[in-house]
Amino acid sequence: MFDNTLPQEEDIRPPCPATNDEADKVDLFVRETHHRMKNMLTLLGAWLRADFMATAPVNLPQAIDGFERRLLAFGRLYDLLSKRSDRRYTSVGDYVGTLSHALAAAILEPRRIRCQATIGDGFLESKRCERLGLIIVELVTNAAKHAFPNQQPGLIQIEAFYGDGFWHCTVKDSGIGTCGARRGAGERIVEDLARSVGGHAITQSCSDGTTVTVVVPHHN
């Protein structure tokens, strides 16, 4: 059953950080920001090479126009991530749905990767919802970067639903999987972000793709 009602004021509790050390919390977000920026620049560099190093003749104005649209799409994505809600609670459906569209435009569609989002109704404390958004961005970016080599097309599914006091958010790709691969910086950041709101991440990977589910309590 979905949690589709706003909690009462007396139910409000502060978010649960992974640590009581304020410096550690700042360090987590600095690492996440730097890693996200590195991934963005890597993707843009790959697209630039693909657009301008093709064996076929390049329509330069068209290629520049396409690259500019990608830069603007990244700008809209980062604008969404930079905004902080002045409301105590945020609609998960609205926020994650909007974020999914922004991710598709900025990262997935240029790589011929389809995006499907299935989001349940309900509300989450705004800070926790925004943290969940950072996790989704990290997971989708990692999948786009690693799961589909050689510009192969594919599918990434984003799901979020509420049940038994927890939000379950899943990002699943149809890529090559990471069986036996070493944990990367992105995976560690996702785990740290999940712990920062009292949650945890579960990863399953095989030859036909990777599924990561992050479970976040509705309240601390």
Output the pLDDT for position 53: 65
d(CA 194, CA 214): 7
4 in any annotated domain:
no
pTM of the full predicted structure? Answer: 0.76
For 108, the 3-state DSSP assignment is helix
178 in any annotated domain:
yes
Structure confidence by residue, pLDDT tens digits, 155-169? 999 999 999 999 999
Q: What are phi and psi of 194, to 5 degrees?
A: -65, -45
Output the pLDDT for position 175: 93
12 in any annotated domain:
no
Domain hosting residue 54, numbered range: 21-217
14 in any annotated domain:
no
Output the pLDDT for position 201: 95
Give which of 63, 60, 130 is closest to 94, Cα–Cα.
130
Split into its structural domains, the chain has a count of 1
Length reported for the chain: 220
13 in any annotated domain:
no
d(CA 56, CA 125): 51
Output the pLDDT for position 3: 46
Output the pLDDT for position 10: 35
Output the pLDDT for position 115: 96
186 in any annotated domain:
yes
What CATH number is associated with residue 79? Answer: 3.30.565.10
1 in any annotated domain:
no
Output the pLDDT for position 177: 82
Output the pLDDT for position 133: 92
The contacts of residue 1 (CB under 8 Å, 6+ apart) are: 162, 163
Cβ pair 81, 122 in contact under 8 A: no
5 in any annotated domain:
no
For 131, the 3-state DSSP assignment is helix
Low-confidence stretches of the chain (pLDDT < 70) are 1-31, 34-35, 38, 47-58, 179-183, 220
